Amino acid sequence: MSEHYDAIIVGSGAGGGTLARHLAPSGKRILLLERGDWLPREPQNWDAGDVFVENRYISKDTWYDGEDKPFQPQVHYYVGGATKLYGAALYRMREEDFGDLRHHGGLSPAWPISYAEMEPYYCKAEQMYEVHGSRGEDPTEPPASAPYPHPAVSHEPRIAALSDAFAAAGLHPFHAPCGVMLNEANTPYSACVRCSSCDGFPCLVHAKSDAEVLGVRPALEHPNVTLLTNAEAVELRTDATGRQVTEVVVERSGGEGNGAAGNEGAGKSVRETFTADIVVVSCGAANTAKLLLRSVSDAHPKGLANGSDQVGRNYMFHNSQAVLAISKEPNPTVFQKTLGVNDYYFASDAWEYPMGNIQMVGKSVAPMYRGEKPLMTKLAPSFSLQDIAEHAVDFWLSTEDLPQAENRVTLDKDGNVRLAYKASNNTARDRLFEQLRSLLGHLGMHEHHLVPRWAYLENKIPVAGVAHQAGTCRFGSDPASSALDSDCKAHEVDNLYVVDTSFFPSISAVNPALTAMANALRVGDHLLGRL
Ligand SMILES: Cc1cc2nc3c(=O)[nH]c(=O)nc-3n(C[C@H](O)[C@H](O)[C@H](O)COP(=O)(O)OP(=O)(O)OC[C@H]3O[C@@H](n4cnc5c(N)ncnc54)[C@H](O)[C@@H]3O)c2cc1C
Ligand code: SF4
């Protein structure tokens, strides 16, 4: 048995890494457990072939879909979690997303807290993650009590022209909120060099606002915080009443053996047990469900905190589409993710239901296409991959998928994740796609699907694209229909909390990370009152 801590945080991503930094100045003894290692800093960080074709930073895990077909989930087990690879589009949810919202596909249920309760924490999260943005441009923007801490990242010329064209078509394009440490007013001192390898890549120069750089590293400056890497929590044990987690069982694999503090078990696999007054789980939506479901005991026969049978259910990950338009003029944009359009986010003149959010995604380059077969077979015969790359304008369309009990994580008999998922709100997704397509002629793009001049491609995100995973442990006021209370404490356990995106009862149509960060700060304030 190892020493006792005030708090153990399991998982160091957007939720866990943020919470660790928030709790660190308290002087309380905090143990941060991370199943992955530090993400190596190496030239391959910025190599599209290594990252997108060879999947260098994707876990080797095998999960199974609803038909029991194996797949390799696009999850990232590193200090900082998925934020190491994320696109750092750091959006607030809209005020209306916190209430019931009627969609074509059904109801997006209300959260047990209001936007007003989350607002101060959004401000703090924007400060901590150095968000760049511009208030007042996006008509759906929720009220904010402070300006963005940094000015918006500027558009490059093709994206500025695109923004003008959206505006000329009567829409309200805005500068997307962005977590890169770019100082355009003083470029010699800018950490970010504005490169083309951001969205989906790790940042070689540590200038992306990720949870390693701005969560874990600042937390570790405090001597009371300990990080163990290559340390996978495999079970949470409780006392006989089932109301207190008493032990966190950890498998330490040793990883690469870099000799860093906390990695001294390199090369060996050992099982250890840690104890703490408070245990916070933040493993990502699927892995949090896995950890709770495998923590079976007499007091919790269906898995820890799962008396309601809600753990693992209501998995969501957005009904997203990565779409690629072909610009008539070349698109030499380096950093493309600077623009958003929310005119179709809610019911509008265009449709009586919400469709979703339009934003840019990292600029595609030729080596990426080799990893995406549909693109190659549709366009390559008549348009070289290089031609496509030079003219591609890449959009990301996010439609809200709705929580459904049967979309769920369960474990097979060997303890592997089984992820059953059927898309919802498909009509809204298709309308958003058609809406953008109908605008292409106004945007300086080729209008039709046909190759070569009229090229336009769509690539729906399959179940393996778990980047925006959420749900599985939703918070709510009714213990019969939620696993967590409004402080993200398990209804059935007095010292167990969850702060990753598992707690989302609905996912909205904006990217989830800032909400996970803000909520970790909110729960962190509650924990500081307890510790
Ligand atoms: C390519 C990509 C692009 C994205 N772009 C954006 C974007 O632009 N904007 C945005 O808002 N979101 C984006 N996301 C999503 C965003 O990164 C996630 O929503 C966010 O990181 C989720 O935070 P989390 O704390 O729930 O989980 P994670 O950040 O995934 O953290 C979970 C951590 O727990 C660790 N872990 C898992 N199981 C265990 C265990 N048993 N024991 C110990 N440790 C464990 C994992 O290794 C990981 O470090 C993107 C994601 C990806 C992959
Ligand atoms: S754009 Fe900036 S933050 Fe993003 S990977 Fe490049 S240097 Fe890093």
- Tell me the C-alpha distance between 392 and 457, whole Å: 10
Residues with CB under 6 A from ligand 1: 10-16, 33-36, 76-78, 81-83, 85-90, 200, 232-233, 282-284, 287, 291, 467-468, 500-501, 511-514, 516
DSSP state of 111: P
Ligand nearest to the CA of 78: 1
316: nearest Cα among 408, 398, 438: 408
Residue pointed to by tokens 């009990």: 405
pLDDT of residue 268: 64
pLDDT of residue 462: 66
Residue pointed to by tokens 């959006």: 91
Give 138 Cα–ligand 2 centroid separation in angstroms.
24
Q: Would you state the torsion angle of the CA atoms of residues 477, 120, 141, 505, taken in this order, to the nearest 10 degrees?
A: -20
Ligand nearest to the CA of 471: 1
- On whether the pTM is more than 0.85, the answer is yes
Measured by CA distance, the residue closest to atom 4 of ligand 2 is 198
Dihedral sign of CA atoms 397, 403, 407, 411 in order: positive
- Tell me the C-alpha distance between 95 and 180, whole Å: 25
Summarised one tens digit per residue, pLDDT across range 112-163 is 999 999 999 999 999 999 999 999 999 999 999 999 999 999 999 999 999 9
pLDDT of residue 321: 85
> What is the 3 state secondary structure string of 332-363?
CCCCCCCEEECCCCCCECCECCCCCEEEECCC
| Residue from 203, 236, 287, 515 whose mutation best tests the ligand 1 pocket (most atoms within 8 A of CB) | 287
Ligand nearest to the CA of 45: 2
- Tell me the C-alpha distance between 242 and 317, whole Å: 31
- Tell me the C-alpha distance between 273 and 237, whole Å: 10
DSSP 47-96: -HIIIIIS-TTS----EEETT--EE------BTTGGGGT---B-PPPPGG
pLDDT of residue 460: 52
Give 278 Cα–ligand 1 centroid separation in angstroms.
22
Q: Tell me the sheet residues that pair with 362.
A: none
- Tell me the C-alpha distance between 303 and 354, whole Å: 36
Measured by CA distance, the residue closest to atom 6 of ligand 2 is 195
| Residue from 210, 507, 511, 519 whose mutation best tests the ligand 1 pocket (most atoms within 8 A of CB) | 511
28: nearest Cα among 401, 321, 315, 280: 280
Give 85 Cα–ligand 1 centroid separation in angstroms.
9
Give 201 Cα–ligand 2 centroid separation in angstroms.
9
What stretches in the chain show pLDDT beneath 50?
257-265, 371-377, 380, 449-459
DSSP state of 180: B
The fourth-level CATH superfamily of domain 4-40+75-530 is FAD/NAD(P)-binding domain (3.50.50.60)
pLDDT of residue 446: 80
pLDDT of residue 263: 45
Measured by CA distance, the residue closest to atom 2 of ligand 2 is 192
Q: Is the CB of 192 within 6 Å of ligand 2?
A: yes
Q: Is the CB of 335 within 6 Å of ligand 2?
A: yes
Give 422 Cα–ligand 2 centroid separation in angstroms.
34
Measured by CA distance, the residue closest to atom 35 of ligand 1 is 11
Q: Is the CB of 521 within 6 Å of ligand 2?
A: no
pLDDT of residue 420: 97
- Tell me the C-alpha distance between 267 and 263, whole Å: 9
Instruction: Return the ligand 1 atom nearest residue 91 CA.
Output: 11
| Residue from 83, 84, 196, 197 whose mutation best tests the ligand 2 pocket (most atoms within 8 A of CB) | 197
pLDDT of residue 1: 52
